[in-house]
């Protein structure tokens, strides 16, 4: 894989990339972004870099307009106009302001397959020449935004960042408890999410050259707890088990203050999609929508991995749905060597002839292991005999744990990390087995499994099955879908028919509360083992 070497005052940073992308798009996935203000069209002339070494195509007409012959001869170019094919060495002349928001790395962005029906333009406020819409997936660990032109449904860009509510706890229950302790903390939690979405919108506006007043529609999905904390309504009910089986009204009473805070059109239609019930949120509904789960034959299972993982099983007549508090392990949080799916993350671990090898997302210097890499790492340790099915290292492994990378930053998997992964895996296993039992089905009856979440984009299905994370069906019947919550939200943004179709799901859906399962502890303990389900 070719690499871009960015020259820095303190040294240099190498970034592997897939050929055919612009320098701007490659850098946007990293911490080394360039200034930009025209959606990469070459009009603003802000994204200036200097090619220090490597071969690139001749300057475009836009570059010839912005730079003199002497500047071009010196290697000064526009990052958005340079298509990277081979190894390059560059210096960024116009760095962007620091931002916690990034473009998704190449290959883990959008699911695609957007709806062909667009909202009627007479449904939009005012006379907006180029109206925009935004899809928002408010996740426990990350917030994802997706920008679209509403006149033709064309996708513009996506951004993601950590949810700042993480400061109050990595899981939803901890945050709900914090909100219930005082109204001040509850307001703070809501404002943190509102402010973060505003910062993401501003990042897009400044880097893509978009006037936020042209944003006239915004659709938002999330798990029930995130929606309740955002609106500041009925979050305390989610701490009471008697409300887990019924719908919780957590929609905002008014969204005009949000529009003002975000700087979008004052009459913009902001639609928060209602969750199903308890901890089964509208993010799962979005996933069911985009995978067409209930349009398939019976035996279709959907697992949306995340801090609050949600699971749905369609038996041909009834959609059974539940949630599993797996914790943040699947998103690379709470693990000593863990990182989210971002540049520098080890996403693939292999063992060949007794030697571990790995692949990194958009970076030659590993920063840690993300969820899919963690699955591979553990599966290979079990396969090699270094880790037993109980999750215990053999005596040949150092008491600190197993070292995958040694260098400036050692990457080591320790016993506590394995324990946390086992608990997350077991929670998912309980959810799957309880849904199958209630449907009168077995794992062998499953015809298709849809895996959602950024975690699932790089997942090695056979490794996941070997340690009991996924049921044992033919790997080619497992579909890795990426961020299905955002993809479904995009469909609802672009097609009113998609929103209407959600109303039909209610009559087909049965919510399953795992806490009411009498055999919960036995099934949980059974799924702790690192062995096939």
CATH number of the domain bearing residue 133:
3.30.420.480
Q: How many domains does the chain have?
A: 2
**pTM of this structure:** 0.85
Are 391 and 282 in contact, with CB atoms under 8 Å apart? Answer: no
Same-domain pairing of 145 and 53:
no
Q: Is 51 within the bounds of a domain?
A: yes
Q: Is 226 within the bounds of a domain?
A: yes
Query: How far apart (Å, rounded) are the C-alpha atoms in residues 17 and 28?
Result: 12
Same-domain pairing of 73 and 158:
no
Query: How far apart (Å, rounded) are the C-alpha atoms in residues 363 and 16?
Result: 5
Same-domain pairing of 45 and 188:
no
Same-domain pairing of 268 and 160:
yes
Domain end (from 228, 249, 282): 282
Q: CA–CA distance from 135 to each of 114, 197, 312, 434 (Å)? A: 12, 11, 22, 32
User: Which domain does 129 fall in, by range?
Assistant: 121-282
Q: Is 9 within the bounds of a domain?
A: yes
Q: What is the residue-level pLDDT of the chain in tens, covering all 533 positions? A: 788 999 988 788 888 888 899 999 999 888 888 998 888 889 899 999 999 999 999 999 999 999 999 999 999 999 999 999 999 999 999 998 888 898 887 655 555 444 445 555 556 666 778 899 999 999 988 999 999 999 899 999 999 999 999 889 888 889 999 999 999 999 999 999 999 999 999 999 998 889 999 999 999 999 999 999 999 999 999 999 888 888 889 999 999 999 999 999 999 999 999 998 888 899 999 999 999 999 888 999 999 998 888 999 999 999 999 998 777 778 777 788 888 887 788 999 999 888 899 988 866 678 899 899 999 999 999 999 999 999 999 888 888 889 898 876 789 999 999 999 999 999 999 999 999 999 999 999 999 999 998 777 789 999 999 999 999 999 999 999 989 999 999 999 998 788 778 877 877 899 998 888 888 999 999 999 999 99
Same-domain pairing of 86 and 157:
no
Same-domain pairing of 77 and 185:
no
Same-domain pairing of 247 and 162:
yes
Q: Classify strands 215-222 and 132-138 as parallel, antiparallel or unpaired.
A: parallel
Same-domain pairing of 273 and 133:
yes
Domain end (from 265, 282, 299): 282
Same-domain pairing of 180 and 224:
yes
Same-domain pairing of 128 and 51:
no
Same-domain pairing of 79 and 171:
no
Domain end (from 259, 282, 305): 282
CA quadruple 169, 170, 176, 179: dihedral positive or negative? positive
């Amino acid at each position: 894989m070719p690499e871009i070497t960015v020259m820095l005052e303190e040294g240099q940073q190498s970034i592997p990339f897939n050929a055919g992308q612009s320098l701007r798009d490659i850098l946007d996935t990293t911490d080394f972004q360039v200034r930009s203000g025209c959606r990469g069209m070459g009009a603003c002339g802000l994204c200036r870099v200097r090619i220090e070494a490597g071969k690139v195509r001749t300057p475009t007409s836009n570059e010839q307009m912005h730079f003199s012959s002497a500047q071009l001869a010196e290697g000064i170019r526009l990052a958005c106009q340079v298509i990277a094919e081979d190894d390059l060495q560059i210096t960024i002349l116009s760095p962007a302001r620091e931002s916690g928001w990034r473009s998704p790395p190449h290959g883990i962005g959008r699911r695609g397959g957007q709806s062909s029906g667009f909202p009627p333009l007479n449904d939009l406020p005012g006379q907006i020449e180029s109206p925009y819409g935004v899809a928002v997936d408010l996740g426990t660990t990350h917030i994802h935004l997706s920008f679209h032109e509403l006149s033709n449904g064309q996708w513009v860009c996506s951004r993601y960042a950590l949810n700042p509510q993480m400061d109050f706890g990595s899981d939803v229950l901890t945050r709900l408890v914090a909100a219930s302790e005082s109204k001040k903390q509850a307001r703070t939690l809501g404002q943190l999410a509102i402010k973060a979405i505003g910062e993401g919108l501003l990042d897009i506006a400044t880097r893509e050259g978009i006037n936020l007043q042209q944003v006239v529609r915004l659709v938002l999905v999330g798990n029930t707890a995130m929606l309740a904390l955002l609106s500041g309504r009925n979050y305390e009910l989610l701490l009471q088990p008697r409300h887990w089986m019924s719908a919780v009204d957590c929609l905002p009473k008014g969204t005009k203050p949000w529009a003002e805070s975000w700087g979008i059109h004052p009459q913009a239609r902001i639609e928060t999609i209602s969750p199903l019930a308890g901890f089964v949120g509208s993010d799962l509904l979005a996933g069911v929508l985009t995978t067409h789960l209930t349009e398939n034959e019976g035996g279709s299972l959907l697992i949306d991995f995340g801090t609050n993982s949600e699971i749905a099983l369609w038996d041909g007549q009834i959609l059974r749905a539940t949630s599993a508090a797996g914790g943040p392990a699947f998103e690379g949080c709470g693990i000593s060597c863990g990182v989210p799916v971002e540049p520098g993350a080890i996403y693939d671990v292999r063992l060949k002839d007794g030697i571990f090898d790995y692949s990194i997302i958009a970076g030659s210097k590993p920063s840690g292991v993300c969820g899919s890499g963690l699955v591979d790492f553990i599966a290979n340790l079990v396969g090699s005999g270094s880790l037993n099915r109980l999750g215990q290292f053999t005596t040949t492994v150092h008491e600190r744990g197993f070292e995958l990378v040694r260098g400036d930053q050692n990457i080591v998997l320790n016993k506590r990390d394995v324990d946390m992964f086992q608990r997350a895996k077991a929670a998912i296993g309980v959810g799957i087995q309880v849904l199958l039992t209630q449907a009168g089905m077995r794992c062998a009856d499953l015809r298709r499994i849809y895996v959602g979440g950024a975690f699932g984009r790089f997942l090695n299905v056979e490794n996941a099955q070997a340690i009991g994370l996924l049921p044992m069906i033919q790997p080619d019947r497992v579909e890795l879908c990426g961020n299905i919550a955002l993809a479904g939200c995009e469909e609802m943004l672009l097609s009113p028919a998609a929103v209407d179709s959600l109303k039909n799901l209610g009559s087909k859906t049965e919510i399953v509360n795992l806490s009411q399962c009498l055999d919960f502890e036995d099934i949980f303990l059974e799924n702790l083992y690192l062995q096939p389900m």
